Amino acid sequence: KQEVTQIPAALSVPEGENLVLNCSFTDSAIYNLQWFRQDPGKGLTSLLLIQSSQREQTSGRLNASLDKSSGRSTLYIAASQPGDSATYLCAVRRRGASGSRLTFGEGTQLTVNP
Amino acid sequence: EAGVVQSPRYKIIEKKQPVAFWCNPISGHNTLYWYLQNLGQGPELLIRYENEEAVDDSQLPKDRFSAERLKGVDSTLKIQPAELGDSAVYLCASSLGQGSYNEQFFGPGTRLTVL
C-alpha cells in the first residue's frame, strides 16, 4: 500500500526566506506527483504536476523536484510572502485496482510572517 | 471558465439524518471524483466516475453512502443515516479523463458537521 509522508507538519518562517517542503512515498511505481495548495475552508489548488519521467517543474517562485527511485519530492518556495501561508499537500498517482488513483500526504501547514 | 462547483458549502445536521452534496464539474471533464478529507489529513478517494459509470468505488462505505451521476455531468453524494464520525469536508474534483497525464481540479468542498 502506498504511503505518503510530508515533513515538516508545520513550518513558520519570516517573510523573504527561501524554504523547502518535503514529501516521501513508499512505492516508486508512480505515474506522477502533484503539489497542491489548500487555503483554510477552501478546496485544493494544483501548483505543479511532475510526470514520472521528469525531474522537476517550475512555476514562478515555485520549483518542485522528483526523485522517483528514492521516493522523494521537494517543493522549493523562493522569497516567501505572507500570501504563501497555506497548507501544502503532495499527492502521488499510482495504479489501483480500477485505474490510477491519487494518494495524498497529510500536508505541511506553512505560515509566513510579515 | 467556471471551476468545479459544489453546494452547499456548509451543512450542519443531527446524527441519523440524511444529507446530500451536489457537484458540477468543469465543462467537458468526463472524470469526476468524490473525496473525504478529515481535519489535518489529506483527501481520500471515495468514488470515481467515468462519465456516468462508477469505475472505482472500493473505498465508498456502501452501507450508508451512495452516489450517482445519472447524465454523466453533475453528481450527488448522499449519506443516510449520518453518523458523528462523518463530520468532515467532502471534496469533488474533475479531470478530462482518468489518464495519468490529466490533472485533477478541485471544488471548494462541503464542510459537514454532524451533531
- CA separation, residue A70 to residues A52, A66, A93, B5, B36 (Å): 12, 9, 16, 38, 29
Question: Per-residue pLDDT tens for B49-78?
Answer: 999 999 889 889 999 999 999 888 999 999
Q: How far apart are CA A103 and CA A21, in angstroms?
A: 17
Within A15-85, strands assigned E span 19-25, 30-38, 44-51, 56-59, 62-67, 72-77
Identify the bridge partners of residue A13 per DSSP, sorted by sequence position.
A112
Q: Which of residues 13-72 of B touch A (CB under 8 A)?
A: 40-45, 48, 55-56, 58
Chain-centroid distance of CA A105 in Å reads 8
Q: Would you call B103 and A89 a contact, using CB atoms and an 8 Å cutoff? A: no
Which residue has cell 514562478? A60
Q: Give me the pLDDT at residue B72, please.
A: 85
Q: Would you call A4 and B109 a contact, using CB atoms and an 8 Å cutoff? A: no
Comparing CB atoms, the residue among B56, B98, B107 nearest residue A43 is B107
Q: How far apart are CA B68 and CA A16, in angstroms?
A: 47
Q: Would you call A102 and B104 a contact, using CB atoms and an 8 Å cutoff? A: yes
Question: Per-residue pLDDT tens for A70-99?
Answer: 999 999 999 999 999 999 999 998 876 666
Do residues A4 and A93 lie in contact, with contact meaning Cβ atoms separated by under 8 Å?
A: no
Q: In the predicted model, is pLDDT for residue B99 greater than 80?
A: no
Please report which confidence band the pLDDT of residue B98 belongs to, taking 50, 70 and 90 as the band edges: low
- CA separation, residue A75 to residues A4, A112, B41, B43 (Å): 15, 15, 19, 19
The pLDDT of B26-51, averaged and rounded, is 94
Q: Give me the pLDDT at residue B102, please.
A: 77
Q: Measured between beta carbons, which residues in chain A are less than 8 angstroms from residue B44?
A: 104
Q: Give me the pLDDT at residue B103, please.
A: 82
Q: Give me the pLDDT at residue A43, please.
A: 87
Q: Would you call B105 and A46 a contact, using CB atoms and an 8 Å cutoff? A: yes
pLDDT in tens, chain A (114 residues): 779 999 999 999 999 999 999 999 998 888 899 999 999 888 899 999 999 999 999 999 999 999 999 999 999 999 999 999 999 999 998 876 666 788 999 999 999 999
Q: Give me the pLDDT at residue A99, please.
A: 67
Q: Would you call A101 and B100 a contact, using CB atoms and an 8 Å cutoff? A: no
Do residues B40 and B62 lie in contact, with contact meaning Cβ atoms separated by under 8 Å?
A: no
Query: What are residue B85's phi and psi, to 5 degrees?
Result: -70, -5
At position B78, the amino acid (one-letter code) is: K
